[in-house]
Amino acid sequence: MASSAVARALRVRRQLPTSPWLFAAPGLLITGAFILYPFVSTLANAFTDRRTLIPGRFVGLANFHELLNDDMFWIGLRNSTLYVVGVVPALVVLPLLLALLVQKNIPGITFFRSAFYTPVVASIVVVGLIWVWLLDERGLVNSLLETIGVGRVGFLSDQWLLLLSAMTVTVWKGLGYYMIIYLAALANVPRELHEAAAVDGAGAIRRFLTVTVPAVRSTMVLVGALSSVAAFKVFSEVYLMAGPSGGPAGEDTTLVMLVQRTGTGLTGRVGYASAISVVVFVVTVALMLLVLRADRRDES
Amino acid sequence: MPISRRALAAAAICVVLPLSACGSGGDGGGSTDASGKIEGDITFQTWNLRANFKPYFEGLIADFEKKYPGTDVKWIDQPAEGYADKISADAAGGTLPDVVNVSPDLVAPLAKAGLALDLDKAASQYKKEYLEGAWASHRIPGTAGTYAFPWYLNTGPLFYNKSLFSKAGLDPDQPPKTYDEVFAAALKMAKETDGKVATLANVPTIEDFGRYGVELMNKEGTAFSFNDAKGVELLTKYKELYDAKALDPQALTATPESSGKKFLTGAVAMNPGSALDLGNFKKQAPNLYKNIGITDQITSTGHVNMYVMGVMVNAQTKRAPAAVAFAHYVTDAEHQMSFAKQVAIFPSTAGSLDDPYFTKEDGTDETRVRIAAAKSLKNAVNYTPVLFSEQMKTELRNEVAKALQGKESPKQALDNAVEACDRLLQQQG
């Protein structure tokens, strides 16, 4: 009996080192093929002049030097940064308010929760086309504005209004997703805290600021980090609303749009597009670190 | 037994190495010899044609396989969206089909990378079967040879909305025939409608500059030249239209699809199109169809613009005789004619446009447009230079937009566009 137990233990121990690797192998292979290899390849290409059909030569930092003198790169960086500045505060605050609104279990609330979540599951292409139709020079919104005497507004022809319109779509589409995250966080806020605050005479706004916000603070940081990374990498909304050229004179181009425009097609400049991708990666990581650091400082 | 770090590294190399082989090719073309027995399996890729023409292509392939026993053609159809990206991925991955439906601008980089078969060498015996201009449309400046069989051609008239013309005090039966007349009509339309109806929906593209009579490239095909006085003149006139709202305010971001929709809804008064559009107007905008006016494409050169589709043979195909034979079979006079009767396109084969189908009136608008288009195609020109890439189109479009917005003068904008396009041309090699 004892000897068989020892033998089994030995067998288990013998299998231990290989077994985890075997279990992890499918995941590792997929990660290696679709994340690590493209990442390393992009990094390597950023230092070459590779084109779609022409293998590149090592050019050192030439692509990065070119970036510094490329007006379109600075336009892309400006727009991607503006997108973060415009979208992230809205996506941190509005879904929280929405979650508070639909948190209570009253009859019919499930309908509203589902309604707010619907844009998340809708195809971005369909959503984009609907918004283009709404905001067109002769669309529904402009017709209403004309009826009330405001006149037509160039939502899709003015570079700043176009960017603002795209941000609105991003916020509208993201509200439901972050609302669900906040709902989960709000469910963990002890009711006693609210009751104690109410007994102490705190009103609804004060309870929100002194009880709810501190309780969901870490979730707000998470939402801030997730939405800032997504906002910096924005592509679909701007592409659909501003067109492939990136708005009037390309003034609404974002960095990811620039990567797509530069690096794809039969004459794509893969090396240069990779250099832009590296910049996007560095800024994205920096944004994450910034948000996490701010959180840690606040905690301390 | 624990896995050593060395074993892990070896495993990682085994995973990564095959992947790293997925680089691009470009080491020169294969053989240009297409003689030999016509047999074997080949793949044929079309550009968004399966949805509407499945029976036609299945019949065509079956006939070919019957004519050449021992051949097997596998037909692949790709969606219109992202077609160039699909070809570039296939070309880079070494999986380009044997016979590929292409346009001249797609052929150019493939030919330069040695992936398109030179038909002047491999299939010169067929050259005389095609219209001279159509055969030449797949030649690439800076290289010797022709890299695709010409397939179908298309061109189209300028449609206008007679009702909008009447409301603006313009004669609906006397449409503009020259650029000056178009510009004058557009300014009047904008004035009479208080800027609510624009006449044109698109900013000028490279083919517009070509039709206006601008020299687009130097003779050697090594540099662009559309910033000459004529080019500046055209852009200056468009700037006047934009300021007067005779050019749609959303023209700066318009696509052919979006401007087509604007014409359908009566937001713009004129739009270029093809015989295909008439059926579309009838179905989607019956009121517009009742008021549709049709006039000739405006050109200052005497030559209208045409679009050319081609069929290319992969230079690295292992079945060159079968691939060349099939590409020729798809594009020969008999099959082009039969395809033209399925859809409003025009054959690129010599003499086909003299067929009664393209010359005999039957009183319908469709036939009238078809006959006019076929007549104009005989001396039409594909104005878009084959070396003008998507990136160059974006550069030109953005500079034109800056000029229209008044951020740059037309001269400065075109100078910048030429400089950017020349730089991209040099980088293409």
Give the mutation candidate from B88, B100, B424 for the A interface (greatest A CB count, under 10 A). B88
CA distance A46 to A29: 24
* Chain B residues within an 8 Å CB radius of A73: none
| Chain B residue nearest residue A11, CA to CA | B1
Number of Cβ within a 10 Å radius of residue A296: 10
Contact A265 B252 (CB under 8 A): no
Nearest to B398 among A18, A50, A245 (CB): A245
pLDDT above 60 (res A197): yes
Residues 6+ apart with CB under 8 A from B19: A33, A37
**Domain extents for chain B?**
40-154+306-375, 158-304+383-428
**Domain B40-154+306-375 falls in which CATH fold?**
D-Maltodextrin-Binding Protein; domain 2 (3.40.190)
SS3 B225: coil
Structural tokens at position A40: 């390393």
Phi, psi (degrees; rounded to nearest 5) at B115: -105, -5
Residue whose structure tokens are 């005789």? B321
Contact B389 A33 (CB under 8 A): no
* Chain B residues within an 8 Å CB radius of A157: 249-250, 252-253
What average pLDDT score do residues A207-222 get? 90
Per-residue model confidence (pLDDT) at position B362: 87
pLDDT above 60 (res A200): yes
> In angstroms, how far apart are the furthest CA atoms of chain B?
92
Structural tokens at position A278: 């590296």
Do the first three CATH levels of B40-154+306-375 and B158-304+383-428 match, i.e. the same topology? yes
* Chain A residues within an 8 Å CB radius of B26: 53-55
Q: Which of B179, B119, B165, B167 is nearest to B144 (CA)?
A: B119
Q: Which domains does chain A have, with CATH numbers?
A: 2-45 (no CATH), 63-299 (1.10.3720.10)
The listed CATH number (3.90.180.10, 3.40.50.150, 3.40.190.10, 3.30.390.50) that belongs to domain B158-304+383-428: 3.40.190.10
CA distance B253 to A289: 37
CA distance B322 to B305: 33
pLDDT in tens, chain B (429 residues): 344 444 434 443 333 333 333 333 333 445 567 778 899 999 999 999 998 899 999 999 999 999 999 999 999 999 988 898 899 999 988 899 999 999 999 999 999 899 999 999 999 999 999 998 889 899 998 888 999 999 999 988 899 999 999 999 999 999 999 999 999 999 999 999 998 899 999 999 999 999 999 999 998 889 999 999 999 999 999 999 999 999 998 899 888 888 888 999 888 999 998 877 888 888 888 889 999 999 989 999 999 999 999 999 999 999 999 999 999 999 999 999 999 999 889 999 999 999 999 999 888 888 888 888 898 888 888 999 999 998 999 999 999 999 999 999 999 999 999 999 999 998 876
Nearest to A266 among B1, B106, B253 (CB): B106
pLDDT above 60 (res A268): yes
- N-terminal to C-terminal alpha carbon distance within chain A: 57
Per-residue model confidence (pLDDT) at position A12: 57
| Chain B residue nearest residue A251, CA to CA | B398
User: pLDDT tens digits, residue range A63-121?
Assistant: 999 999 999 999 999 999 999 999 999 999 999 999 999 988 888 888 988 999 999 99
Per-residue model confidence (pLDDT) at position B6: 46
Contact A137 B428 (CB under 8 A): no
| Chain A residue nearest residue B83, CA to CA | A265
Q: How far is A89 from chain B (nearest CA, A)?
A: 29
Contact B265 A262 (CB under 8 A): no
pLDDT above 70 (res A300): no
| Chain B residue nearest residue A242, CA to CA | B253
| Chain B residue nearest residue A14, CA to CA | B1
Contact A53 B106 (CB under 8 A): no
| Chain B residue nearest residue A259, CA to CA | B391
* Chain B residues within an 8 Å CB radius of A266: 84, 87-88, 91, 106, 109-110, 389
CA distance B173 to B150: 37
Please say whether the beta carbons of B90 and B96 come within 8 A.
yes
pLDDT above 60 (res A24): yes
Contact A52 B394 (CB under 8 A): no
Per-residue model confidence (pLDDT) at position B354: 92
Where does residue B52 fall: left (phi above 0), alpha (psi -120 to 50 degrees), or beta otherwise? alpha
Contact A157 B85 (CB under 8 A): no
> Angle, to 10 degrees, between the axis of helix B275-284 and the axis of helix B365-377?
160
Give the mutation candidate from A18, A40, A53 for the B interface (greatest B CB count, under 10 A). A53
Per-residue model confidence (pLDDT) at position B3: 41
Kindly tell me the sign of the dihedral angle through the C-alpha atoms of B341, B343, B344, B347.
negative
What average pLDDT score do residues A266-282 get? 95
* Chain B residues within an 8 Å CB radius of A155: none
Per-residue model confidence (pLDDT) at position A244: 86
Q: How far is B206 from chain A (nearest CA, A)?
A: 15
* Chain B residues within an 8 Å CB radius of A55: 23-24, 26
Counting one residue from A and one from B, how many pairs have CB atoms under 8 Å apart?
Answer: 123
ipTM confidence score: 0.79
Q: A interface toward B at CB cutoff 8 Å?
A: 14, 17-18, 21, 29, 32-33, 37, 41, 49-55, 136-138, 154, 156-157, 162, 242-250, 261-262, 264-269
| Chain A residue nearest residue B257, CA to CA | A243
Per-residue H/E/C for B282-344: HHHCHHHHHCEEEECCCCCCCCCECEEEEEEEECCCCCHHHHHHHHHHHHCHHHHHHHHCCCC
Q: Following DSSP, what letter does each residue of B130-157 receive, concatenated?
A: B-HHHHHTTB-TTS-SB-SEEEEEE---
pTM: 0.83
Per-residue model confidence (pLDDT) at position B376: 86
| Chain B residue nearest residue A266, CA to CA | B88
Contact B390 A267 (CB under 8 A): yes
